[in-house]
């Protein structure tokens, strides 16, 4: 995407995506320090929310916890199902960009009735229902988003949880300037027109990859940005039965492919089912590949930004108004007091 061209600059969605690198560069890891003492008094951390406020931020936090051996257990679930759980021994972080999401507020109110003493909020807006009812709420610095699809707020939510985990475990958060540069690089990188055409002409777009929030979030953004049906196939799920119903009118975008499974994906999905596979990787694969820089400990952010770029190029090629979906709303299910 190129902000200097009118076909991109006219969309709030793209303008907000391109603000992300500066949000990363200016992020202060100290903003989460005030929550550390309360979280340490509990047995673990429960991250909840709906849609984009949970998929990438919470899943990436769990992935980082497991990968780097952090000792504080991190769990996630949607708010309504979580109301069936016993959360008294967990610190709860409820994320809602609007601060008005019905499922989030309903769960927070339910916890308060149970005298839960560690309910925290994460939102992009001030003076909201979430801030009113949570014990303490952090308001993101990214500001209000005009586009329906959440973008810059998703990154800052991820960074907040990232800093929280590090502050809990005494690990410094460094290298944000370099991450900002890499995110800007992949957001503005040209996408091969043949790759865009493959996605544009597909009836269904699958995403495959680790359950770290990247592919799952991109599957949701595919609906909002390209108006195409999509699905997230976790890990190697694509090799375990779904190939039976795949067809040549579909495409799979594989984020950071497992090297050991590439031959099998080619055999079963490309040769067997006839679908197209596009890889997003730091190195060449056996599939058409979008090469991205290695983000190191922040790889997931770089991958997500690369996915945004692919989807924007597809949406623009389809002539879609990226800011005005027909049915999706900025607040998916807004809280209304009874």
Phi-psi region of 108 (alpha: psi -120 to 50; beta: other; left: phi over 0): alpha
Question: Where do the domains of the chain lie?
Answer: 6-174, 190-291
Residue 145 is predicted with a pLDDT of: 81
Are the CB atoms for 80 and 108 separated by under 8 Å?
no
Taking CA 100 as the corner, what is the angle to CA 95 and CA 103, rounded to the nearest 5 degrees? 70
190-291: what fold?
Answer: Rossmann fold (3.40.50)
Report the range of poorest mean pLDDT among 97-101, 175-179, 248-252.
97-101
Domain 6-174 architecture: 3-Layer(aba) Sandwich (3.40)
Statement: residue 333 has pLDDT above 70: no
Average pLDDT, the chain: 94
| CB hemisphere CA count around 337 (13 angstroms) | 4
User: Do 173 and 165 meet the contact criterion of CB atoms below 8 Å apart?
Assistant: no
Q: Give yes or no on whether 6-174 and 190-291 have one common fold.
A: yes
Of 134, 122, 31, residue with least CA distance to 76: 122
Name every residue whose Cβ is closer than 8 Å to that of residue 244 and which is 6 or more positions away in sequence: none
Span 44-88, pLDDT tens digits = 999 999 999 999 999 999 999 999 999 999 999 999 999 999 999
């Amino acid at each position: 995407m190129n902000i200097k061209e009118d076909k991109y600059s006219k969309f709030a969605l793209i303008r907000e995506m391109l603000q992300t690198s500066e949000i990363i560069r200016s992020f202060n890891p100290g903003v989460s320090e005030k929550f550390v003492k309360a979280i340490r008094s509990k047995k673990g951390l429960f991250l909840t929310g709906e849609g984009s406020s949970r998929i990438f931020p919470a899943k990436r936090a769990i992935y980082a916890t497991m990968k780097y051996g952090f000792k504080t257990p991190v769990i996630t679930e949607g708010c309504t199902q979580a109301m069936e759980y016993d959360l008294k021994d967990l610190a709860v972080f409820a994320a809602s960009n609007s601060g008005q999401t019905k499922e989030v507020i309903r769960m927070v109110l339910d916890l308060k009735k149970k005298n839960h003493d560690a309910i925290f909020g994460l939102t992009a807006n001030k003076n909201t229902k979430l801030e009113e009812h949570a014990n303490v709420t952090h308001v993101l610095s990214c500001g209000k988003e005009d586009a329906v699809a959440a973008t810059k707020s998703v990154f800052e939510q991820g960074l907040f949880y990232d800093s929280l985990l590090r502050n809990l475990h005494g690990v410094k958060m460094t290298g944000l300037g370099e991450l900002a540069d890499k995110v800007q690089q992949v957001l503005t990188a040209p996408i091969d027109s043949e790759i865009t055409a493959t996605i544009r002409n597909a009836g269904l777009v699958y995403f495959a990859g680790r359950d770290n929030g990247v592919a799952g979030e991109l599957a949701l953004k595919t609906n909002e940005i390209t108006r195409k049906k999509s699905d997230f196939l976790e890990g190697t799920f694509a090799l375990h039965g779904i190939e039976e119903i795949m067809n040549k009118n579909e495409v799979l975008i594989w984020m950071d492919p497992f090297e050991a499974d590439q031959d099998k994906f080619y055999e079963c999905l490309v040769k067997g089912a006839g679908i197209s596979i596009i890889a997003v990787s730091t190195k060449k694969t056996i599939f058409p590949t979008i090469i991205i820089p290695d983000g190191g400990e922040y790889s997931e952010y770089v991958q997500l930004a690369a996915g945004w770029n692919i989807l924007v190029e597809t949406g623009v090629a389809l002539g879609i108004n990226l800011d005005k979906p027909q049915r999706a709303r900025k607040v998916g299910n807004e809280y209304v007091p009874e």
